Amino acid sequence: MGGGQLSRVGWWDVVDVCIVAWLFYQLLKLVRRSHAIQIFTGGGLLVTLYYASQFMPLQTLNWLIRDLFGYLVFAAIVLFQGDIRRALAHFGRAPFFALWGRSRATSESIEEVLEALRMLADQGVGAIVAIERGMGLRNYVESGIPLDAEVSYDLLVSVFRPGSPLHDGAVVLQSNRLAAAACFLPLSVNVRISKNLGTRHRAAIGLTEETDAVALVVSEETGQLSLVVDGQIEQALELEQLRGRLETLILGSRYTLGREQTAGELG
pTM, whole model, 2 decimals?
A: 0.62
pLDDT in tens, the chain (267 residues): 455 555 576 777 788 888 888 777 766 666 555 555 666 677 777 778 877 877 777 778 777 777 777 676 676 666 666 666 656 665 555 544 444 444 455 778 889 999 999 999 999 999 999 999 888 888 899 899 999 899 999 999 999 998 888 888 899 998 888 999 999 999 988 878 888 888 999 999 999 988 889 999 999 989 999 999 988 999 999 999 999 999 888 876 333 333 333 333 333
Alpha helices in 80-168 (DSSP H): 81-91, 107-123, 138-142, 153-160
Q: Measure Cα distances from 150 to 166, 168, 172, 243, 256 in Å.
A: 17, 20, 12, 20, 20
Q: In the chain, where does the domain assigned CATH 3.40.1700.10 lie? A: 104-258
104-258 to CATH, choices 3.60.60.10, 3.90.1170.50, 3.40.1700.10, 1.20.120.160: 3.40.1700.10
pLDDT in tens, 63-93: 777 777 767 667 666 666 666 665 666 555 5
Number of DSSP helices (H) and strands (E) in the chain, helices first: 11, 9
Max Cα distance, the chain (Å): 79
Q: Are 112 and 151 in contact (CB under 8 A)?
A: yes
Answer whether 251's CB lies under 8 Å from 107's CB: yes
